[in-house]
Amino acid sequence: MYPEFEDDIGPEIVCHVYDPKTGMKGVVVIDNTALGPGKGGVRLVPDLTVGEVFGLARAMTWKNALAGIPFGGAKSGIMAPGHAPNKVELMRAFSERIAPLVPSVYIPGPDMNIGENEMAIIANTIGTPKAATGKPSSMGGLPHELGSTGFGVALATEVALEHSKIPLAGAKLAIEGFGNVGTFTAKFLTEKGAKVIAVSDSKGTVYLESGLDYNILMQVKKEKGTVTAYPGAAVLAPSALFEAKCDVLIPGARPNVITDKNAGAIKARVVVEAANIPMTSEVERSIEKRGILVIPDFVANAGGVISSYVEFSGGSEKEMFSIVREKITKNTQLVLERSKGDTRKAALEIARERVVDAMNKRGTMKR
């Protein structure tokens, strides 16, 4: 199949789909279903590769296992521009082609350039609400706009601060990115007394030592299109956020923003990875060797996939927040208890143990 990707965990299925009428080309990678049907988003990007989708599917295997939900790992994508004029037609064609896999072995969700409207198309085309998660609330969905991922990041931050013996009230935060994840992370943490002193977006970093007001941040972002319009605050380069003197640094936007070139300038005592792959594992280790606690991405940002599980199970918004709280808190604590200075290694060990145990029980583990 694809020997360069194969190991004792997966992948189980690599499915290429094509529709000659629309020109839709897509791929689904179902990595492992030992714990349940493969769960992972659909992305719409022109330069999609099988390798990229496989890497994301494997990440979902570990994320779902660590989250403690009955989902395996999967991912899919369509090769087209994010703002393709025929996006609706592409989604319908994609939905029709993947229907034999959904939802028995694959459950799609939103990802890059794909949102609740596209999830509605999948569910309507396949003919069951269980065909996708992240649907509009009118369809019984729990859209990511409720803030489940940011809520989970906030909970992971609370656990990390407690572990580091740093009081949450008055803790200084620097947050990269003020989109869905960053805004809700700021909201939930400031409600508990933490102080956001720096926030960045694509236009720059806004810094205020006395603390930025969440409601004003939201207002200026909505009205001016950038947090740098915050009145009375210093405006710095986007990269300056990573050098802020703070208790917690939360990279929450782009991948690989912390590198061996700027990692040494980090002054935070804790780094909580809200974004996927904000740095390589090698950079993580270099930071941890300086005594900085790192909460890995698939530990901290699992609130979204936990919300997907609650939606798939027919749960309510209230139940979703309760289950996210329970699982993110418990699993972050477990990782910190297991860790000996390498939190990613500890988290991966826990996730792999859960997957291998399930595979052994099903008799699918290679001997």
User: Which residues are known to be catalytic?
Assistant: 75
Task: Tell me the C-alpha distance between 249 and 256, whole Å.
Answer: 15
Of 201, 207, 197, 199, which Cα lies nearest the Cα of 232?
207
Question: Burial level of 333, CB count in 10 A (0-12/13-18/19+)?
Answer: middle
Nearest-angstrom CA–CA distance, 135 and 109 = 8
CA-closest candidate to residue 191, choices 154, 152, 143? 154
How do 72-79 and 204-207 pair as beta strands? Answer: unpaired
How much helix, strand and coil, in percent to the nearest 5, is found in the chain?
Answer: 45, 20, 35
The position carrying tokens 């030592």 is: 209
- Do β-strands 38-45 and 72-79 pair in parallel, antiparallel, or remain unpaired? parallel
Which 3 state secondary structure label does DSSP give 324? helix
